[in-house]
Amino acid sequence: MITLSLDIQGVSKVLMRLNSVAEATEELSFFGQATVAKSAVRAIRDRTSKGLDQHERPFLPYKSDRHKRDRAARGLPAMVNMKFSGGMLGAMRATRRGVPSQPAIRFNSAFAGYIADLHQSGTGGMPTRKFLGLERGTSSYAEVKATAVEALRRQIRNAIRRP
């Protein structure tokens, strides 16, 4: 005859611990959200400064010879990289917004936000140059996703360590 004994109290403690870990990781922590938002800003700046849009394709070229001359006079490359003065990309900041809060990008200057919106949506004679998104399948998306996964892993490790 085989006798099987089960320590229900031990199993109960494990289940309670797993439940507390699940509650602690229900959403990304404040630190995790800030880390992801900063990673997104960095990825967008890096990609944009290389002259690539959110799909990682080159931006449409400048049509006006004046823009080309102005860029050459400033020692800037002829490619469109949204860095005519550097103000718009420099004004991008990582933040959180919404309930529950989520990582977001804002501009610390209303004028920089306005210029970014003009590029993003295109107006009048300016072509649409979408640069604020992170498209699935691009390296910038993968970079931000990896940051989010690592932030969540760190959060899970911390939740497991708690008494």
Residue closest to 10 by CA, chosen among 18, 86, 2, 48: 18
- Other beta carbons less than 10 A from residue 59's beta carbon: 20
Q: Is 15 inside any structural domain?
A: no
Structural domain contains residue 17: no
* Domain assignment of residue 131, yes or no: yes
111 in a structural domain: yes
User: Is 116 among the domain residues?
Assistant: yes
Note whether residue 3 is domain-resident: no
- Mean pLDDT, residues 72-76: 71
- The reply to whether 64 falls in a domain is yes
Domain that residue 109 falls in: 29-161
Beta-sheet strands, E only, within the chain: 92-97, 102-107
- Contact call for residues 97 and 104 (beta carbons, < 8 A): yes
What pLDDT is stored for residue 105 in this prediction?
Answer: 85
* Within-domain flag for 86: yes
CA–CA distance, 27 with 6 (Å, rounded to integer) = 34
- The structure's pTM equals 0.70
pLDDT at 76: 66
Alpha-carbon distance of 61 to 9, in angstroms, equals 68
pLDDT digits (tens, 9 = 90+) for 129-139: 888 888 888 88
What percentage of the chain exceeds 70 in pLDDT? 69
- Number of domains into which the chain is organized: 1
10 Å CB burial of residue 45 (0-12, 13-18, 19+) is middle
pLDDT of the residue at 83: 64
